[in-house]
Amino acid sequence: MGDSLLQLSDAERRLLNDFQHGLPLDPCPFARIADALGMSESQVIEALQALQASGVVSRVGPVFRPNRVGVSTLAALAVPSERLAEVATLVSACPEVNHNYEREHAYNLWFVVTAPDRERLDEVLDDIADRSGLDVLDLPMLEDYFIDLGFRLQWT
């Protein structure tokens, strides 16, 4: 992936760097981004799709502070290593799951679930447990800490 970063156009680099924050609250946010970059809306969308397909970008969309819109929880599973890819795919297929990631721990698959209410959140966790055959560790947030994960990208 490192080599692919060197092949990005100036517009793609600006897209990655300048729009980590402040996605325009607009009915056509990609058109506003396109205006700022001197591109067409379709070029922005195509560039983002290509960046996702190549693995440079994992997700494009808003991040809401926990429990401001609906409810959310951090969850974890202790997955046998030979089933990790299978269970990660199962978890990722749930529209309520924002992302998942592997950790070096007995609980080795972690993920965030967001739902309209606690009842739906519990249904999603129960469904993941039923389909995986594994117990889900539910870790609801007790105290809010905000860590900004946006950072200026270095291209050299």
- Please state, as a whole number, how many other Cβ atoms lie within 10 Å of the Cβ of residue 93: 10
79 and 41 both lie in a single domain: no
Considering the domain boundaries, does residue 89 fall inside one? yes
Domain extent, residue 90, equals: 71-139
32 and 86 both lie in a single domain: no
Q: How far is CA 90 from CA 23, 83, 134, in A?
A: 29, 11, 12
Model pTM?
A: 0.60
Q: What is the full per-residue pLDDT of the chain (156 aa) written as tens digits?
A: 444 445 888 888 888 888 887 777 889 999 999 999 999 999 999 999 988 888 788 777 766 666 667 888 999 999 999 999 999 999 999 999 988 899 999 999 999 999 999 999 999 999 999 999 999 999 988 776 666 666 666 666
46 and 86 both lie in a single domain: no
**Domain containing residue 117: CATH number:** 3.30.70.3460
- With DSSP H G I counted as helix, E B as strand and the rest as coil, what are the percentages for the chain, rounded to 5? 40, 15, 45
Number of domains composing the chain: 2
Considering the domain boundaries, does residue 83 fall inside one? yes
Considering the domain boundaries, does residue 149 fall inside one? no
